[in-house]
Amino acid sequence: MDRLSLERRQVWIYLAAILGGLALGSLWPALVQGFEILLWPVLAVLLYTTFVQVPLLHIRDAFRDKRFVLAILLGNFVLIPLGVWLALQWLPDDPALRLGVLLVLLVPCTDWFMTFTQLGGGNTARAIAVTPLNLLAQLLLLPVYLSVFLPAADFGAALKTEEMLSAALALIGLPLVAAALTERWIESKPARAIWRERLGVWPVPLLALVVFLIAAEQVETVLEAGPVLLTVLPVFIGFLVVAALLARGLAGVLQLPVDTGRTLAFSLGTRNSFLVLPFALALPAGWETTVVVIVFQSLVELFGMVFYLWWLPRRLFKSPLGANA
């Protein structure tokens, strides 16, 4: 199965992986005890193969369309964080739940954002160009957001640990550096471009394996978190609606073309769940709900993207009369 076929079916692939993990963890709990050790290298390879698809060495290309860059930065790093903070006020006073919501909603996506942009008639070139800018900005700003939005006691207890720092270094920094070196190696000879295409097939099955391992290992937490997930479900659905409407407003104010407006909507609507998983997995005991909330949001988001593929080109960002969608 090629990359495009995998990406079109990824919603059902991830859902099957989660259900399979829950079944395995429920029926054979002793079998999944070592899954945590396996999870870390799989996640590291997932991050590497995903980062290879991001043009890390071409961040300057993002600034060619200044209005689009302004919309991306204003939407993803000012308006979305304000909206997330407002939504947080309606959630139960559960630090693990709130941290999960913050981690997963504050950082824009850098992988399937480009896929859905292409499928939804957006401007794929703009999506590719702005992705390294999104990645750099979120890595710099996420600690700032968490320190502002979380109470000092919760922030210190959950995040300022040696485990968190080592996880960030090993599972984000090293794959990021390796991907940048790979990109330089690929671009040194045109014939090597095939390697980016080959690596591009792996993020979907690797992410499916990651959520399978998490579901199997955290089956008790997942089952106990049922009421919690129902609590955050309206927040995640509301986020998708507000993000698209926000993109429509920004596109109108900044007079963005229709295809660029769609790209903006997919950027604001998709979140970087795989990037924040290392932080969540490194949390101390008692914070397992954070991981479950992040995985749950990614599943809700994928179903939301299926809706976006219908809603954006046919209703919110309709092509001008006579133009192709």
pLDDT tens digits for range 202-222:
999 999 999 999 999 888 888
**Measured distance CA(4)–CA(13) in Å, rounded:** 13
Q: Which helix (H) or strand (E) holds 63?
A: none
pLDDT band at 322 (very low <50, low <70, confident <90, very high): very low
Separation between Cα atoms, residue 180 and residue 164, nearest integer Å? 23
**Alpha-carbon gap, residue 271 to 28, rounded angstroms:** 33
Give me the mean pLDDT over the 89-100 stretch.
91
Domains of the chain, by residue range, sit at: 3-316
C-alpha to C-alpha distance for 306 and 77, rounded to whole angstroms = 24
> Averaged over 252-270, what is the pLDDT?
97
Per-residue model confidence (pLDDT) at position 163: 57
pLDDT (tens digit, 9 = 90+) per residue, 161-186?
555 556 666 778 889 999 999 999 99
The tokens of 258 are what? Answer: 């229709």
Contacts of residue 299, Cβ cutoff 8 Å, sequence gap at least 6: 11, 14, 15, 18
Structure tokens at 1: 């199965």
Pick the CATH number of 3-316 from 1.20.1530.20, 3.40.50.300, 3.40.30.10, 2.102.10.10: 1.20.1530.20
Residue type, 43: L
Q: pLDDT: is 311 or 226 the higher one? A: 311
Structure tokens at 278: 């290392």
How far CA 299 is from CA of 138, 163, 174, 223, 321, in Å, comes to 21, 27, 27, 16, 35
The DSSP result for 114-182, as a single string, is HHHHHHTT--HHHHHHHHHHHHHHHHHHHHHHHHHHS-HHHHHHHHSSHHHHHHHIIIIIHHHHHHHHH
Q: Which amino acid is at 274?
A: F
